[in-house]
A and B are shown apart, each in its own frame.
Chain A
Amino acid sequence: MIHFQNVSKDYNNHHALTDVTFKIVPKEFVSIVGRSGAGKSTIVKLLIGEDKPTKGRVIFGHYDVGKLKSRELPRLRRHIGTVFQDFKLLPSKNVYENIAFALEVASRPEHEIYDYVMEVLDLVDLRGKVKNFMNELSGGEKQRVAIARAMVNRPDVIVADEPTGNLDPVNTMGIISLLTKINELGTTVILATHNKDIVNQLGRRVLVVEDGRLVRDEENGRYSV
């Protein structure tokens, strides 16, 4: 479903990624690990079309992501749910509206939106906070809103880039178990992180990135520095 073919990415003569090749099949849970600056976020950005590869191809389903024009990106993004360290929620909208937004932009009918939003709110256990605004939520709650928004479109894949980077250990475990649950429900999950405890505890496939190169790709991998 996802295929990076000999992908390189340069930022003004700086090699952020060099000749990276890997495949991800549906329903997998894959962790991308590596030190800060290794190139994890670059992989995420190339996957969601935020940046274009300097060399190689990024394939997602039937999309050749690197060749998409900017007006074609919205379609791609409705197939990918994204979760970031800094949540990226809309501060002037409440919890319900933030999640509903992902459906509204996909032109879903109003009655469907309500049902879907309530469903994911149950999944992330935030039904009690529908009307709250972002500044009234804790970090863990915000990240759950972000995950709910990523899920509500029923995407093929959820990409989480350091989703626990701003959270304490308890909330971190909460978010990781939520991602595991989502994966068990049938969605592919890609998790970029530099937190080795998480990875080791997961016991799933691990891609290790070092200095922009993919140095290991192991099922049931472990990550040690």
Chain B
Amino acid sequence: MATTLYRVIKHGFQNFWRQRLLSVATLLVILLALLVFEGLMIFNTVSNKAFDTIQDKIDVSVYFKTTAPEDDILRIKQSLEGLSEVKSVDYISRDKALDTFKAAHANDQTISQAIQQLGENPLEASLNVKAKNPSQYSVIASYLQNDSLKDLVDKVSYQQNQVVIERLAKIVNIGRQGGLALTAIFAFLAILVAFNTILLAIYSNREEVEVMRLVGASDMFIRGPYIVEGVIYGVISAVLSLAITAPLVYFVSPYLRVFIPGMDLISYFTSNIFKILGYQLLFGTIIGVVSSLIAIRRYLKT
């Protein structure tokens, strides 16, 4: 058994080396497939981060009449938090609103004087609501415009921003779905091409398979070396694809940060490097081994 294993591995490496041209061609295609996978992984991370950033900027604010009691406002806050569409609710009291306002206009003499002369706080308390999904703001807005709240609520910011919010929501959703679809399509294409290449490579070996059978080689002895070759393809292309993407990531990362604040591609890449390498090894060897097995099956049947 050990000798057979040793011989199978030996033949695998021998075939890989002796049919260099074929091996390199196959290797390049698997490498390409892995680069596509890795590109998609990074693309999804970046775009999700980008969409998160956009989504985070969208919210709906309800402003309460200055006469509305704080207890009522806090009760509304609680009931909002109970809604399944709501991600978070921030309460901004009248005092806090005034502080923020003062701080924002600290340098503006006329405004600070005007406020002082007014004597009382003219600002309204508000609730700042963020939805889990941007398409749900209309639901939240209509909840807030309910007749029962009419006496408390002064205005809901949604009406003014409705068009913008809806458009952003659409962009974010389409973007996420599109990214997913694109990932699926490219991954499918990459796998298809890689499989095809290996099927062809083994097709060119079909006469050898027949010869081995005539000489009395068991199926395992015939298949084994192709499996070994598949593993070699997987390992080499995984390492190569990582070696190619690493410098690209370092180069692109600073530019990305300009567009998407908080997006640190380098640290994402380095902290996940073993996970990425692991996936690559897994994908690479699966493509290499599975397609070899499928191709060989056809020539082993009698």
Contact = CB atoms under 8 A, between A and B. Distances in A.
Interface in B1-57: 3-4, 7, 14-15, 18-19
B216 A109 contact: no
A116 interface: no
Interface in A96-127: 101-102, 104-107, 109-110
Contacts of A77: 213-216
Given A92-B19, A104-B7, A48 B218 contact: no
A24 B18 CA distance: 42
Main secondary structure of the interface of A (DSSP, over half): loop
Residue of A50, A70, A75, A90 with most chain B CB atoms under a 10 A cut-off: A90
Given A92-B15, A109-B3, A78 B216 contact: yes
A106 B3 CA distance: 11
A144 B207 CA distance: 20
Interface residues of B, number: 23
A74 interface: yes
Given A92-B18, A107-B3, A101 B208 contact: no
The bracket for how many chain A residues form the interface is 20 to 34
Given A71-B219, A74-B217, A92-B19, A105 B212 contact: yes
B302 A101 contact: no
A59 to B, nearest CB: 19
B215 A105 contact: yes
A131 interface: no
A77 B219 CA distance: 13
Interface string B74-106: 000000000000000000000000000000000
A71 B216 contact: no
A110 B216 CA distance: 18
B214 A105 contact: no
B265 to A, nearest CB: 44
A67 interface: no
B216 A106 contact: yes
Interface of B: 3-4, 7, 14-15, 18-19, 207-208, 210-219, 221, 300-302
